[in-house]
Structure formats: C-alpha cells, structure tokens
Amino acid sequence: MNIAIIGAGGWGTALSIVLHGKGRRGSLPWRIRLWSHEQQTVDEIRAQAQNVRFLPGMAVPREIELGCDLAWAVEGAELVVLASPSHTMRSVCGKLPRLNVPVVSVAKGIENETHERMSEIIAEQQPDAPIAVLSGPSHAEEVARGVPTAVVAASRDKALASLVQRTFMTDRFRVYTNDDIIGVELGGALKNVIAIAAGIADGLGLGDNAKAALVTRGQTEMARMGAELGAKRETFFGLSGIGDLIVTCFSKWSRNRGVGERLGRGESLQQILGSMVMVAEGVRTAKAARQLAQKLGAEAPITSEVCSVLYEAKTPKQALTDLMTREAKPETAP
C-alpha cells in the first residue's frame, strides 16, 4: 500500500512509524511518504533518523520517504493522511492536487473564521475524496514507542471506516469504528479547551476534587454542544470523548494542559506561546468554540471562562470564582 502523510509534526511522524512497521510485516512493504512544509525538518530527520524538534528520541526508519513537495507526496498514494495543524488545514488542502482516494484527517480543531470541522474543510477543498477521521486518546510520544493505544476511525461511509481500521490497526494500536463523524471530531477539538482549564486548576494547586469536577462538567459541556450540531451524545462517552478528555487533562505530554498550568501559575499567554515549538490547538479552538456555543445557544461556561483568561486578561482565580458561583441548577439539566 502507498500512503502519504501530510504533516511531519509529532503526530504525523508517529503515524508514519506505526504504518511503516505494519507495512513491513506484509509480503510487499508499504511505501510511506512523509511531507513537511519545512526543508529544515526534512534535513534533520534525514541526518539524525529522528524528528528532533517534534518527536525527539524516536527513531524514524530510513525507508520512510521525506520531502516538501505536495504533488510528489501524494503521487500514487492509495490513502492520504492529513496531519497538518487545524489552522493550516484549509491552505494545505487547497494546495494539494485534486484527490480521489480516501483521505484521513487526524487534526483536532475548529476553524476560527468559519467554525467548520476539519472534515468539512477537506470536503470543500477536495470534493472528490472520501473522508474519514482518526481520533482518540493518543499522545504521539507513546504511540511511537508502541505503548498500547486505542482510537476510533469515523466516517459516514462504514466501508471507509473499516478500511481505515484495517490499515492502522496493529497489536499495539487498536482501532474501533464509528459512523458519528461530527461527534468524533468535536470530541477531539473541544477536549483541548477543557484541558486548558484542567491545567489552570493544576497551576492554581486546586487538588483532585476540583479537577475531577472540571473534567466531568467539561464532558457534559462537550456533549451538549455536540448534540446541538447533530452528534450522538453517546459518542462523548467513547474514545474521542471522555477517553481523549481524560488523557489530555491529566497527561504530562498534554500541551494544552501545560498551557493552562502555566497560566494558572501567572505566566502570560504571549510568554507561553513564545516558548513553545509545537502547537496547542486548544488556544485557537477556545475562541471558535465559544463563538459556536453562542450561535447555537448552548451553555458552555468552562469554554467561556477559558476564553476570558486567554484573550480578555481575566485572572484564573476570578474565572474560578465565577464558575463556582453560577446559578444553582440540577446536574442533569439540558
């Protein structure tokens, strides 16, 4: 099988390692091409056999082909994996040649200007390509090391979801299928915003009770917004919902949780982002998610407070107070 992976960040690189390893077990090795928008990244991987900026310490097999030309990357590809950050998805898709092979989005975010999910952007830019989404609790650092991981492949086309499942599934990377592409994408995007809030709780030293409450109510907030957009509530109890939420809110690898922790300790957003190499998707997604919730008339208090801290100079302590002193209501209120 010939597979193109567009985006040589940590996640794209980790998936190239997984797919290369699986392809070697067959009678014919798979051809894996990994595209980066930066020649520097390509040169570093070639020279050091690892992605030193985005996935340090993990060997990248020499057989994985590397390049910066999009047309070259997808030439002859039977499957294209889009691993670019969500804020670059539209521009990257627009520069690709017209595709008519399955495309798998592994980016997690909502576009600020349009409030569109990644699959919606891809469908606009690549109307002939069948689209699936791969999401779930899957830190690149652990996936690349072969730590047991479970994710979900979602598509309205069940045959396509099954194809993605068969392609990616190994004895260390388990893939389930789901036909709720809206819920799977929203779970992957919105949990990053809740993870910033969880990090703020860590930075303030609030303890386990507060963080458990935040994660639980965050999951409710995600499901509420998802239902308004046509997603199934039960999807948010699965891998792309509560599963991804747990790992992103608690893991040392979580960039979004890390941003929140530093905010809680008093650093400014400008200081934090200026020191980061990789993207914390929740920072951009928070603004889009709040706007989307307002448009839908869906209550999203955690998302709203995260936005106020990120963009309106509200202190984390004041945001906490405002969350805790909201009007009393039943737990299961819609």
Catalytic residue numbers read 191
Tell me how far CA of residue 77 lies from CA of 72, 88, 98, 153, 334, in angstroms.
10, 21, 12, 19, 45
Listed residue (164, 82, 181) closest to 122, CA to CA: 82
177, β-bridge pairs:
153
CA distance 27 to 254: 37
Other CB atoms closer than 10 Å to residue 212's CB: what's the count? Answer: 13
Task: Return the structure tokens found at 214.
Answer: 């935040």
Give dist(CA 210, CA 84) in Å, integer: 34
Single-letter amino acid, residue 97: P
Angle (deg, nearest 10), helices 255-264 and 181-204: 30
4 three-state secondary structure: strand
**In whole angstroms, what is the distance from residue 304 CA to residue 302 CA?**
5
Q: Which residues of 90-99 are buried (b: 16+ CB within 10 A; e: fewer)?
A: bebbeebeeb
Distance of CA 200 to the CA centre of its chain: 20
Question: What order of strands is seen across the sheet that includes strand 65-67?
Answer: 65-67, 31-35, 2-6, 79-82, 103-105, 131-135, 149-154, 173-178
